Structure 1
Amino acid sequence: MSDDENEDGNREWSRFWLTAQQFWLGSTAWRVWLLCAALVALVVLQLYVQFRFNYWNRDFFDALEGRDPTRLRQQAYLLIPLALASVVLAIISVWGRMAMQRNWRQWLSAKVINYWVENDRYARLATVQGDLKIPEYRIAEDIRIATDAPIDFAVSVISSLLTAIVFVQVLWQVGGSIGFAVAGLQLWIPGYLVVSVVVYSGLVTGAMLWVGSPLTRVIQTKNQVESELITAAHLLRDIGEGITPKQEERGVIAGIWLALDRTIQQWKRLCWQLMRNTLVSHLNTLIAPIIGLVLCAPKFLADQMTLGELTQAAAAFTLVQGSFNWMVDNFSRVAEWMSSLERVGGLLLSLDRLNGDAKADVTPSEAARQQAGG
């Protein structure tokens, strides 16, 4: 990515947040933060249930290994309230998260639409050449993504951090230390499961960042050509409704076919990029649970770890690496969010510039600050 593209992206990011942050700072923001606190509390409760499931896993397999029907029956009874609590918390979490997303989207969409309509900016923007004359897709789709994704990210990041903190301790306690000989040297690694999960997660995250770096720009270009295809179709409809002269029909139809060809080409680029990303993410999905079992196997075979502890540690290993590899699991969505955020910011910047065209009493930057605050 060139320096000019980076500079444009930074301006668009700044312009987006100049307006979007007011949702979190206004006079009624206390309601928003109250809902945020409730979501964090739900995350903590879900983590506690997950923690109990991890120990249930250990106790169940220890009872299975010991062929103890009484303990197995106790674990079966315990599974019912744990599963019920997990389901109820998951349902409430969906409601809370989507309520937050819906409110932010409604607020920001209203802000952008009002700014677009004021002083006939919608009409003057239609005369601007290039992609800035296509606000419909940005208002309908990009604002949705730009407000949905941060809520999901915040909830999942908090959950990942807490999960890592809790289950790293489980790995340290259950796995303990391990010693082995290499070239006649006796090596001793304390908390070897923790060390292993950190090294493994770092390798996977680095691989995803390297392979997936072009994805943001590919998604942004794909979204742009999609909106151009919609606009080209609208132009043909205008001819049918008599808004545009019939003489322009041939050129408009040619424009539709050109826009469709560009759209398909961008989808091909996106396909190849997602295939490369999937190579890393799918390998991680397959390998991570197996690595936990393999690392615990020597201790299990040496009777230093029970079957229940082996399954508990392997499950904890999978949870911790999933937390550390948050970027791997969310890379595609992060890229899509960054693209939409820049496109909404670009629309706001283009509307700011129209203030200068109309010889307004304020500069575009001042108008942006007033629009964000008002």
Structure 2
Amino acid sequence: MHTLRHFWLLARPFWTSSEKLPALLLLLGTVLMNLALVGVTILNNFWNLHFYNALQALDYDAFLVAGLQFILLQLALATFTVAAFHFQQKLTLRWRRWATENTLRQWLGQQRYLRLQLNAPEMDNPDQRIADDINLYISMSLKLSLGLMTAIVSLFSFLHILWQASSLISIPLNGQDVVIPGLLVWAALLYSILGTGGAFWLGRALPRLNFIQQRREADFRFSLMRLRENAEPVAQYRGEAEEHARFSKRLEAALQNFWALVKQQKIVMGYSTFYMRTATVIPMFIMAPQFFAGAFSLGRLTQISAAFGEVHEAMAYLVRVFPEIAEWKSVVDRLTGFQSRLDNVDSDTGLTLQHSPGRFAVENLDLWLPGGKRLISGLDLQLEAGDSLLIRAPSGYGKSTLVRAITGIWEHASGTARYDLGSVLTLSQKTYLPLGSLRDMLWYPHPAQPGNDAQLQHYMQQCGLEHLVPKLDEEVDWSQILSLGEQQRCAFVRALLSRPSVLFLDESTSALDEATEAQCYALLKRELSDTILISIGHRASLERFHSQLLELKGVDQESQHPVRQLDAPRFDTAT
């Protein structure tokens, strides 16, 4: 019941959304097709009666009629099977699209993807939850629930046949033939209960092993992806041996759990195979004395045997799909845990952010590390449009953390920040280059505007990237193609295209020489004259590009070192 409750908590948003009407129609179509398949199975059961009676009676005409009926039944079976598959897959597609998009919005909303990484590092592989587990959850939920419905309908459809057939069986007792009402029904029920109970007991460890296996497989896959993303640094360190050792360690962990899973599955598989195969002959042994005594025909024996098989199979449905139920439970548990993290991740930014276009102000800002160590205390800043501020401090004094707090992605802060919240951009030391064409990458985080290629090419030329203009439409992994300096110059092009009201530059020229750095800053001041620039860096050469300087020297000394005015910025804006 615990798992079923979690299943409904995950499913309810979709079935109460705007998609519910078309989804219900698709579900209805799927259910009707599955019910039609049960109907064909019932007709096939009666076909067994007539066909084998025709064989026993050597009635060739009846045999030919039965052959025609068989063809029609198979055509109907194929038609309803394809139709059921069509409706089920359409429903799966619609449900998966909605669920994935909804989860993506929630994951990306309020920067939860970053907050989960910072505050819940034990939340492993959210990419797997979104890409794989949602698909498994939906497809397996539909498959198992529809299978259960079909099993229940089949059970009650064939119970009547089996109950009636039980009246043909008598057991000698004290010299009298005793007929036990529903003997075959009770035999099927007892056999199914024993089989179901045995399968659940033997496979009780499967859900936990499936859960662990998915996690370890994802960890191994993630380590391979990390090497691809950092191929050049690994090559420079000559770290192949260490990387191989790490891969082998994660692979071995996955394989060890996989073998434990296989051993458990072998036990369940052997038990289930023996159990399901032996069930086909049980009714024949029960009915053999009356059959050989001539109490009923071969057709009746075959019909009753088939009906017993259908009833038993319906009752034993959970035994047959137990490995899938175990996997489904592990998927539900993983998604429930992920959804719980998304719902409960702290969205408090720490610092109070207020929208205030045309200016930038920070009041009474306190900043500390998760362990409680205070980095900044009581900081106040006031900047107007066109102002430029340089923040300088030794490593570990919280310069980059200050930018994170001001932009709302660091929660260990207090105070107030006021600026144009809808027009802010941060250029970090490591430039993010998304997948796609070079044009898409330069326009990021906005959609590419091919109609503005003249402006784009102009900015590329001004930033020393004219050699990349012919490659604007190429789609390669640009993070592996461009040097660090080229990547940082791409970030400047990005800033010029975005034209933010507030621009943070967090050591964003660390890979540039002083001449290129001066060229890029001059370009910013010329093209973005009203933008508030806030730079972080160690270089003394940065001072000449800013009108104010803030030096952070420790929490006990900050109040004694307020923002200092610099000489007017000295650089040639005509370059």
TM-score (norm 2): 0.57
Give, in whole Å, the separation in 1 of the partners of 2:182 and 2:213. 46
Give, in whole Å, the separation in 1 of the partners of 2:201 and 2:262. 17
Amino acid in the other structure paired with 1:175:
S
Q: Cα distance 1:64–1:15, how it changes in 2: closer, same or farther (>3 A)?
A: closer
Q: Is the 8 A contact 1:146 1:337 kept in 2?
A: yes
Query: Who is 1:318 aligned against?
Result: 309
Shift of 1:128: 5.1
List aligned pairs for 1:211-230, cutoff 5 A: 211-230=202-221
Amino acid in the other structure paired with 2:145:
A
User: Deviations for 1:139-171, whole angstroms, at most 9, x for unmatched residues?
Assistant: 121111111111112211111111010101111
Query: Who is 1:173 aligned against?
Result: 164
Amino acid in the other structure paired with 2:112:
R
Query: Who is 1:81 aligned against?
Result: 72
Query: Who is 1:92 aligned against?
Result: 83
Give, in whole Å, the separation in 1 of the partners of 2:144 and 2:7. 18
Q: Cα distance 1:250–1:243, how it changes in 2: closer, same or farther (>3 A)?
A: closer
Unaligned runs of 5+ in 2: 353-575
Unaligned runs of 5+ in 1: 1-8, 362-374
Amino acid in the other structure paired with 1:238:
E
List aligned pairs for 1:1-374, cutoff 5 A: 17-127=8-118, 131-181=122-172, 187-242=178-233, 246=237, 252-356=243-347, 358=349
Give, in whole Å, the separation in 2 of the partners of 1:86 and 1:187. 40
Give, in whole Å, the separation in 2 of the partners of 1:244 and 1:176. 80
Q: Cα distance 1:288–1:15, how it changes in 2: closer, same or farther (>3 A)?
A: closer
Q: Is the 8 A contact 1:40 1:155 kept in 2?
A: yes
Give, in whole Å, the separation in 2 of the partners of 1:166 and 1:136. 44
Shift of 1:187: 4.7
Shift of 1:300: 0.7
Query: Who is 1:364 aligned against?
Result: none
Give, in whole Å, the separation in 1 of the partners of 2:328 and 2:229. 32
Q: Cα distance 1:305–1:352, how it changes in 2: closer, same or farther (>3 A)?
A: same
Give, in whole Å, the separation in 2 of the partners of 1:81 and 1:138. 45
Shift of 1:304: 1.2
Q: Cα distance 1:43–1:19, how it changes in 2: closer, same or farther (>3 A)?
A: closer
Amino acid in the other structure paired with 1:112:
T
User: Deviations for 1:260-297, whole angstroms, at most 9, x for unmatched residues?
Assistant: 11000011011001001112210023211111222221
User: Deviations for 1:317-341, whole angstroms, at most 9, x for unmatched residues?
Assistant: 1111000011011101111111011
Shift of 1:182: 5.4
Amino acid in the other structure paired with 1:257:
S
User: Deviations for 1:85-127, whole angstroms, at most 9, x for unmatched residues?
Assistant: 1111111111111111121111111111121112222233334
Q: Cα distance 1:41–1:295, how it changes in 2: closer, same or farther (>3 A)?
A: same
User: Deviations for 1:53-92, whole angstroms, at most 9, x for unmatched residues?
Assistant: 1111110000100111111111111112111111111111
Secondary structure of 2:279's match?
helix
User: Deviations for 1:21-43, whole angstroms, at most 9, x for unmatched residues?
Assistant: 11111233111111122122112
Q: Cα distance 1:127–1:243, how it changes in 2: closer, same or farther (>3 A)?
A: farther
Query: Who is 2:501 aligned against?
Result: none
Q: Is the 8 A contact 2:162 2:304 kept in 1?
A: yes
Q: Cα distance 1:196–1:360, how it changes in 2: closer, same or farther (>3 A)?
A: farther
Shift of 1:181: 3.6
Secondary structure of 1:178's match?
coil
Shift of 1:14: 5.8
Q: Cα distance 1:296–1:179, how it changes in 2: closer, same or farther (>3 A)?
A: closer
Larger Rg belongs to: 2
Larger relative contact order (CA 8 Å, sep ≥ 6): 1
Give, in whole Å, the separation in 1 of the partners of 2:306 and 2:128. 43
Secondary structure of 2:170's match?
strand
Amino acid in the other structure paired with 1:55:
F
Q: Is the 8 A contact 1:60 1:72 kept in 2?
A: yes
Q: Cα distance 1:358–1:343, how it changes in 2: closer, same or farther (>3 A)?
A: farther
Q: Cα distance 1:19–1:73, how it changes in 2: closer, same or farther (>3 A)?
A: closer
Give, in whole Å, the separation in 2 of the partners of 1:208 and 1:104. 32
Q: Cα distance 1:187–1:176, how it changes in 2: closer, same or farther (>3 A)?
A: closer
Give, in whole Å, the separation in 1 of the partners of 2:260 and 2:313. 28
* RMSD across aligned positions (CA): 2.6
Query: Who is 2:454 aligned against?
Result: none
Shift of 1:131: 4.3
TM-score (norm 1): 0.87
Secondary structure of 1:355's match?
coil
Shift of 1:253: 3.9
